[in-house]
Chains A and B, each alone.
Chain A
Amino acid sequence: MSEMSTLLYGLVLLAGAVGLAAGLTWFERRLLGIWQDRYGPNRLGPLGALQVLADMLKLLTKDDWVPPFADRVVFVFAPTAIVIAMLLGFAVVPMSPDMHLLDVNIGLLFFLGMTSLAVYSVLLGGLASNNKYALLGGLRSAAQMISYEVFMGLSLMGVVMLSGSFSLQAIVRAQEDMWFCVHQFLGLYVFLIAGIAESHRLPFDLPEAEHELTAGFHTEYGGMKFAMFMLGEYLGLILISCMMTTLFFGGWLGPGFLPPLVWFVLKTGLIILFFILLRAAIPRPRYDQLMSLGWKVMLPLTLVNLAATGAIALWMEG
């Protein structure tokens, strides 16, 4: 791609991701409404879709307040970190054979690195608020995310072994015969759980845990800064879904009657739906239960997966 078109694509991607994340708030609320025998936002615009605009207006015009007892600089920086990290993560997502901002041979590592950076946002937000609920939320998030980072990274190594590359385009192409969700189902399972934990949504929203910690790490946040956290969360959700599509469900691959981009969007959309359904259905485990699930179940599973994949890969090579 020329520089101009790369820039243009970058801008479209940026606007698309942010717009989609915003739209997703409405979509999720409507879906939850349907599943929970109630309406959800249905008043503003067709099917209530303009609710997003109203919410944005409200959040934008709210007082931009920083509590006097907070660490001001960190407090303001924290919510931006998650948005920046998540948006950067989109750079490596291949949406069709030639649609990607970056196709580097460390694409997967780049994605993992960006999600790791997002942890700082929650952690710093919790610490800088100087509030006990926020602190507890921050502590939980640090423990939860750092642990699940380990399994998330490890769970993808099987995919890397099979495709022989960290480049996401190469990983997609390696799935032409069979999607990795078939022979990497253990990896998929771990990645799915780790992905929810990373995006800290129900059932793994322990850093936030409304019923225990009021609002956890963002207790003290309001207005746009709060919106940034929410935006980051939804961006994370989309990003994780994109990555699941790419890594396990053949990315943009699909029968030729639809263009690759449509296949990619369809698959990602279904995964997002699944995430929303999980949120509606499952209760929240306790913090130590989540940790012991991680270290006692997830870690052995990924190691077994890794060893088996490695052995088979070696055997195939003969």
Chain B
Amino acid sequence: MLGAGMTDSAGTAEGAADARFGADRFVPQDCPDGTPTYWVEAGELRKVLRELKPDFPMLYDLFGIDERLREKRDGQPPADFSVVYHLLSLTPFGQLRIKVPVIEPAEVPSVVDIWPNANWYEREAWDMFGIRFSGHPNLRRILLPPTWEGHALRKEHPARATEMEPFSLDADRQDMEQDALLFRPEEWGMERATEDTEFMFLNLGPNHPSVHGVFRIALQLDGEVVIDAVPDIGYHHRGAEKMGERQTWHSYIPYTDRIDYLGGVMNNLAYLQTVETLAGISVPPRAQVIRIMLAELFRVSSHLVFYGTFAQDVGQMSPVFYMFADRERLFGIVEAITGGRMHPAWFRVGGVAQDLPEGWDTMVREFIDAMPARLDHYEKMAMQNSILQQRTVGIGRCTQAEAIDWGITGPNLRATGVDFDLRRDRPYGGYEQFEFEVPVFHNGDCYDRARVRIEEIRQSLGIIRQCLDNMPEGPFKSEHKLTTPPPRERMLEDIETLIHHFLNVSWGPVIPAGEACVPIEATKGINGYHLVSDGGTTSYRTRIRTPSFALLQQIPLLSRGLMIPDLIAIIASIDFVMADVDR
């Protein structure tokens, strides 16, 4: 039986799949996160996924793993690479992982016609691993430039510039690179003209005041009407996943802060929960509550930035300054507690870096007492403004079915009326102890996407207040032997503790072999780190599933037939961070 440990609906789906294809064809894999994981042969993949879609309507993630150097994979089918399909069912919550073993030359059938959002994920897997997806409509590189040689996440691909030949740009290469940059609409799937209209192509970005970072959209325009919009990403790609294979489990923490750089320690949480699941560490209550408090502070901070830039992008000049001033106050608290501001990198394997400083409660209380009145003020200033409403109500509408089909999570999903929040529906890290509402709106337009976030700020303030009133006493770090850095008080007791401390600090902890992904409800949607440990001091594969990636892929769908200002309103309302897209 496949469905052990799953929710009801997931169980029946599993049962159906079991009966139809025969249990012997599925090779189960035991994962420490408890997510049922099965290996399926490439030939049967599409049949299996089609069967599963009614019960697992969302393709949460799709990525590759280079299996060639992995040592501890007992019981798993032989493979050079594997492709992982991470599926979700929302109500009730259920997860399922399907893995496909691939032997070089790697080829897997595409599932774009089953889940439209597989498009970009398959392109990424092609880009990073050279896995071909037969039947994919547009299998081009997505994060790296088209002239890149090799596939960056393959184990043989160098990770650092010092491992490569020195870079040189001779005339031929320059011509080649420049030629690759030329814009040819056909390559982007756009026609130059129809019988009656010649289209204008407008290159929006990668530097543009409203694309919030380095993001490019090629627009096909008829007058100011957007006929098609093709996003081009990868300008912010920094190889975060590749770096995960070099950094120790501990020293990778600061890299995570910079993924969703508005989410701060929220990223640490997504990463560390997975590490702790692999290591079997349980975090003491005080550390849990501290983590939740900081994560919610960052949710408020991120949503404030959203709120301000949202108003700004529809042309309202002032709100952004008020919201940034509030965020500044909030950073004052973050700074007092962690010493950092946007990227505190303050959570640790097994807890947090330090205990809370004296006087933290006064600062937090002042902030959460002042905020509701200010939010009321902003409501009048921005959300109730009739021009802002004209610009955003009914613009960029997305239905529930579309949102689920495109892997949209977080506030944008809740704006379409799907009542789903991981913090409530599969509580992690201690959220089960908190009382809060999950704001849901139903129009799925730009205005509702903003309203969800504004209500979430209020709910987060409530959670922070509960943290403040019920902060447990006790250690801020786990007693577990893999807690990093290990408690210093124990260091000098005898030679054993000294060696233990020395190894865990200098080499870093050795996390037991296994695979896990413990997604969290991050500021922009569900963020999850799928980590593969091969029993070493670094991760064997770090896969970062970010919400922004899915959001951007949906832009063409939302913006076709609207005007440029609407496109700007849509971009403002979906709330993404380019580092969170490109990693």
| Cβ distance B239 to chain A, nearest Cβ, rounded Å | 30
Q: Among B202, B321, B385, B563, which residue has its beta carbon within 8 angstroms of that of A287? A: B563
List chain A residues, Cβ under 8 A from B318: 32, 35-36, 280-281
The reply to whether B565 and A280 contact each other, CB–CB distance below 8 Å, is no
The reply to whether B322 and A284 contact each other, CB–CB distance below 8 Å, is no
Nearest chain A residue, comparing its CB with the CB of B207: A214
User: With the chains together, A282 CA to B385 CA distance in Å?
Assistant: 8
| Cβ distance B459 to chain A, nearest Cβ, rounded Å | 26
List chain A residues, Cβ under 8 A from B390: 285-286, 289
The reply to whether B563 and A211 contact each other, CB–CB distance below 8 Å, is no
| Cβ distance B480 to chain A, nearest Cβ, rounded Å | 46
The reply to whether B224 and A279 contact each other, CB–CB distance below 8 Å, is no
Pick from B47-55, B75-83, B308-316 the stretch touching chain A: B308-316
Chain A 267-294 interface mask (CB, 8 Å, partner B; 1/0): 0000000000001111111111100000
Chain B 169-183 interface mask (CB, 8 Å, partner A; 1/0): 000000000000000
At the interface, yes or no: A37 with Cβ under 8 Å from chain B? yes
Nearest chain B residue, comparing its CB with the CB of A37: B325
The reply to whether A136 and B563 contact each other, CB–CB distance below 8 Å, is no
Q: Among A37, A136, A211, which residue has its beta carbon within 8 angstroms of that of B568? A: A211
| Cβ distance A64 to chain B, nearest Cβ, rounded Å | 24
At the interface, yes or no: B159 with Cβ under 8 Å from chain A? no
At the interface, yes or no: A209 with Cβ under 8 Å from chain B? yes
| Cβ distance B190 to chain A, nearest Cβ, rounded Å | 15
At the interface, yes or no: A210 with Cβ under 8 Å from chain B? yes
List chain A residues, Cβ under 8 A from B325: 37-38
Chain A 220-258 interface mask (CB, 8 Å, partner B; 1/0): 000000000000000000000000000000000000000
Contact A38 to B210, CB < 8 A, known contacts A284-B314, A285-B391, A289-B390:
no
Nearest chain A residue, comparing its CB with the CB of B381: A281
List chain B residues, Cβ under 8 A from A38: 321, 325
At the interface, yes or no: B317 with Cβ under 8 Å from chain A? yes
At the interface, yes or no: B4 with Cβ under 8 Å from chain A? no
At the interface, yes or no: B365 with Cβ under 8 Å from chain A? no
User: With the chains together, A19 CA to B224 CA distance in Å?
Assistant: 38
User: With the chains together, A35 CA to B320 CA distance in Å?
Assistant: 12
At the interface, yes or no: B491 with Cβ under 8 Å from chain A? no
List chain B residues, Cβ under 8 A from A284: 314-316, 387, 391, 565
Contact A279 to B317, CB < 8 A, known contacts A286-B565, A287-B224:
yes
The reply to whether A212 and B321 contact each other, CB–CB distance below 8 Å, is no
Q: Among A37, A132, A203, A210, which residue has its beta carbon within 8 angstroms of that of B387? A: A203
List chain A residues, Cβ under 8 A from B257: none
Interface residues in A132-162 by Cβ distance below 8 A to B read 132-133, 136
Total count of chain B residues near the partner, CB < 8 A: 30
How big is chain A's contact interface, by range? 20 to 34
Interface residues in A36-60 by Cβ distance below 8 A to B read 36-38
Interface residues in A262-318 by Cβ distance below 8 A to B read 279-289
List chain A residues, Cβ under 8 A from B314: 211, 283-284
Number of A-B contacts (CB under 8 A): 82
The reply to whether B387 and A282 contact each other, CB–CB distance below 8 Å, is yes
User: With the chains together, A214 CA to B382 CA distance in Å?
Assistant: 23
User: With the chains together, A228 CA to B203 CA distance in Å?
Assistant: 28
At the interface, yes or no: A202 with Cβ under 8 Å from chain B? yes
The reply to whether B564 and A37 contact each other, CB–CB distance below 8 Å, is no
The reply to whether B209 and A202 contact each other, CB–CB distance below 8 Å, is no
Nearest chain A residue, comparing its CB with the CB of B569: A286
Interface residues in A97-133 by Cβ distance below 8 A to B read 132-133
At the interface, yes or no: B200 with Cβ under 8 Å from chain A? yes
| Cβ distance A111 to chain B, nearest Cβ, rounded Å | 28
| Cβ distance B319 to chain A, nearest Cβ, rounded Å | 9
List chain B residues, Cβ under 8 A from A281: 316-318, 381
The reply to whether A214 and B387 contact each other, CB–CB distance below 8 Å, is no
At the interface, yes or no: B208 with Cβ under 8 Å from chain A? yes
At the interface, yes or no: B388 with Cβ under 8 Å from chain A? yes
| Cβ distance A51 to chain B, nearest Cβ, rounded Å | 19
Scoring A37, A38, A286, A289 by chain B CB atoms within 10 A of each residue's CB, the highest score goes to A286
Contact A136 to B564, CB < 8 A, known contacts A211-B210, A212-B210, A284-B315:
yes
Interface residues in B173-200 by Cβ distance below 8 A to A read 200
| Cβ distance A279 to chain B, nearest Cβ, rounded Å | 7
User: With the chains together, A283 CA to B391 CA distance in Å?
Assistant: 9
The reply to whether A286 and B566 contact each other, CB–CB distance below 8 Å, is yes
Nearest chain B residue, comparing its CB with the CB of A213: B564
User: With the chains together, A160 CA to B227 CA distance in Å?
Assistant: 47
Taking A35-B318, A284-B316, A287-B224 as known contacts, 7 extra A-B pairs with beta carbons closer than 8 A to each other, sorted by chain A number, are A32-B317, A133-B202, A203-B315, A211-B210, A214-B209, A284-B391, A286-B391
28 A-B pairs (CB sep. < 8 Å): A36-B317, A36-B322, A132-B203, A136-B224, A205-B315, A211-B210, A211-B313, A212-B210, A213-B564, A281-B316, A281-B318, A281-B381, A282-B315, A282-B316, A282-B387, A283-B311, A283-B387, A283-B388, A284-B565, A285-B315, A285-B387, A286-B390, A286-B391, A286-B566, A287-B563, A287-B565, A288-B563, A289-B391
Closest 7 CB pairs of A and B: A284-B315, A283-B316, A36-B321, A283-B315, A211-B210, A286-B565, A283-B314
